[in-house]
Amino acid sequence: MATINDLQLGGFDDTVVLRLGKNLSGGGEKEDVHIVEHYEVKMSVMQQPAAFTLRLGSSSAAAEIIAKYPPGTQFELHIGPAGHRSQVQSGVVYSRGSPSGHFSQVELRGRDYLAVLYDDEIQSEYTFAEKTYFELTRKVLDIVGLRETGGAFPKFILNFSNDSNRQLISRVATAKPKSAGELVTQIETGATAGAGKVVYQTLKSKVGTRWYDFLQQQYKLAGLFLWATGEGNFVLTRPRADMAPTYKIQRQRGAIQNHGNVVECRFQDDTTNRHSEVIVHGRGGRGKSGRGGIYGHWVDTEMRAYGFANVRTIQDDDVKSNREAEFVARKTIAEERRAGWQLEYTLSGHVTPSVVAKDSTAVWCPDMVCRVDDEELNIHGNYYIEHVTFARGPQTTTTVTLMRPEDLIFADDLFVAPAGTGKKSTKPLDTTAARQALAEKFAAENFGTPAGPTDLIEGLRN
């Protein structure tokens, strides 16, 4: 693996190319822009659409720059040397203006192509008979004009895996999840992530609802996320962190100057809105036996270890079994943990030595795993990269937001067998306690037990 000392930050591997031009109707040509004074490009898995800000300045009048780049101008960010360059983000300019009257500066703001889905509202009621979430998403993308062929936009492909996008952006052969899980193309509409049985239903859209919100309402049942790739295509999948790390962040106390590339670190462990246990109640049943009570619960072992005993109770009439109620409780605990536990590093440059490719660098990319060894915070382990911000003004930096892998609960995967078997586990897990113990064991074996602020639960994991 290359080291920071061998890497000249800002060198050829860290070359940035920003391109603008060619409006949405197809007119004009894209060109490299050499008058960028500042940029900020944000990429995320769970916060959509991605956004960018460019500040342009030159000896020309601001009016000339404004006229050259109207709303609808297409944008691209490339990182790396010629011939080995990554297209990190694509998007469209939505706003422009002059941030200061004293200088010939113009600020352009825009979003990736998912913004079309985010802005467009349903104009008439649709009934969808598509069998899977993948087919439903493809249908909605076609309705708003994000088609694979024809239309007012470039070609937009819907992918069910983010593997190729990870490799395209990072420039290295990245690791893949250890377990294949359930193929997104096979997850049927009406199936919840915690359900063992599919309940098929015809979906209807309501006039005035944003298409993005309509899809999000469906995705939350199955734990799916939709985001744009660097080339402007789309990915529909579940975030997964059971993969080997591609990057490494290291902070040592008393280390010599320039030994690492960490500029700043922000950490927060806020338990204000977290609970030691979540209980979910529902109503289910039919026929002569009538409707009976449904119950499920899940424990946050970390909160229990901290000494808290605050319980959250949820009434959810959509759950149809005790197992679904348990999954809702587990998912709620995970959401609270993600919101309360935040780790963020600002790093020099946009590339870093690769862990998986010897003597090479990798561009930072969301939906990947990073190894952290931070002596200052006593945090050690593998962490999921949820958010990446590339910026320059004037220093070139990358800010990565990390999550604990065990907090990425989007599907009830406690019965998923190893990849390639095609079968579910037959191990009897007929109690919540047994399933919770398995979840703890899986997290410890696959992600390691992070030290530092979370080491109080070490004993509970064994």
Query: Which pLDDT value is given to residue 52?
Result: 96
Query: How far is 10 from 16, CA to CA, in rounded Å?
Result: 9
Please tell me whether residues 139 and 175 are part of one structural domain. Answer: yes
Other Cβ atoms closer than 10 A to 216: 14
The secondary structure element, H or E, covering residue 170 is helix 163-170
Dihedral, CA atoms, 191, 413, 403, 249, nearest 10 degrees? -140
Which tokens sit at 299? Answer: 């424990």
Query: How far is 51 from 141, CA to CA, in rounded Å?
Result: 20
Query: Which pLDDT value is given to residue 415?
Result: 41
Query: Which pLDDT value is given to residue 285?
Result: 57
Contact 374, 252 (CB under 8 A): no
Contact 52, 75 (CB under 8 A): yes
Amino acid 263 reads V
**Which position has the token pair 């899980």?**
181
User: DSSP letters of 354-406?
Assistant: -SSSTT-EEE--SSEEEEEEETTTTEEEEEEEEEEEEEESSSEEEEEEEE-GG
Please tell me whether residues 66 and 83 are part of one structural domain. Answer: yes
* Residue 439 in domain: no
**What's the total number of domains in the chain?**
2
Which tokens sit at 181? Answer: 């899980």
Query: Which pLDDT value is given to residue 422?
Result: 46
* Residue 215 in domain: yes
Please tell me whether residues 169 and 154 are part of one structural domain. Answer: yes
Query: How far is 400 from 246, CA to CA, in rounded Å?
Result: 14
Chain-centroid distance of CA 172 in Å reads: 19
Query: Which pLDDT value is given to residue 305?
Result: 95
**Which position has the token pair 């052969």?**
173
Please tell me whether residues 108 and 124 are part of one structural domain. Answer: no
Please tell me whether residues 168 and 62 are part of one structural domain. Answer: no
Please tell me whether residues 138 and 98 are part of one structural domain. Answer: no
Amino acid 122 reads I
Q: Is 258 left (phi over 0), alpha (psi -120 to 50) or beta?
A: left
Dihedral, CA atoms, 199, 203, 208, 212, nearest 10 degrees? 70
Q: Which of 237, 258, 291 is the last residue of a domain?
A: 237
Please tell me whether residues 121 and 222 are part of one structural domain. Answer: yes
Q: Which of 222, 237, 252 is the last residue of a domain?
A: 237
* Segments forming the whole domain that contains residue 19: 4-113
Other Cβ atoms closer than 10 A to 108: 25
Which tokens sit at 44? Answer: 């995320």
* Residue 366 in domain: no
Please tell me whether residues 41 and 140 are part of one structural domain. Answer: no
* Residue 377 in domain: no
Tell me how far CA of residue 100 lies from CA of 36, 273, 393, in angstroms: 15, 41, 16
Please tell me whether residues 103 and 126 are part of one structural domain. Answer: no
Which tokens sit at 127? Answer: 């009934």
Which tokens sit at 231? Answer: 């080339």
Q: Which residues pair with 41 in a beta bridge?
A: 52, 390
* Residue 175 in domain: yes
pLDDT in tens, the chain (462 residues): 434 433 444 455 788 999 998 776 666 688 999 899 999 999 999 999 999 999 998 877 888 888 899 999 999 999 988 777 889 999 999 999 887 765 678 999 999 999 999 999 999 888 888 788 899 999 999 999 999 876 555 678 999 888 888 888 887 776 666 655 456 666 666 555 544 333 345 567 788 899 999 999 888 778 899 999 999 999 999 888 888 999 999 998 876 554 568 999 999 999 999 999 999 999 865 555 445 689 999 999 999 999 999 999 999 887 888 888 898 899 999 999 999 999 999 999 999 988 887 778 899 999 999 999 999 999 999 999 999 999 998 899 999 999 999 999 887 654 443 444 444 444 445 677 777 777 777 777 666 654 333 333 333 333
In 3D space, the residue among 195, 68, 50, 179 whose CA is nearest the CA of residue 115 turns out to be: 50
Q: Is 452 left (phi over 0), alpha (psi -120 to 50) or beta?
A: left
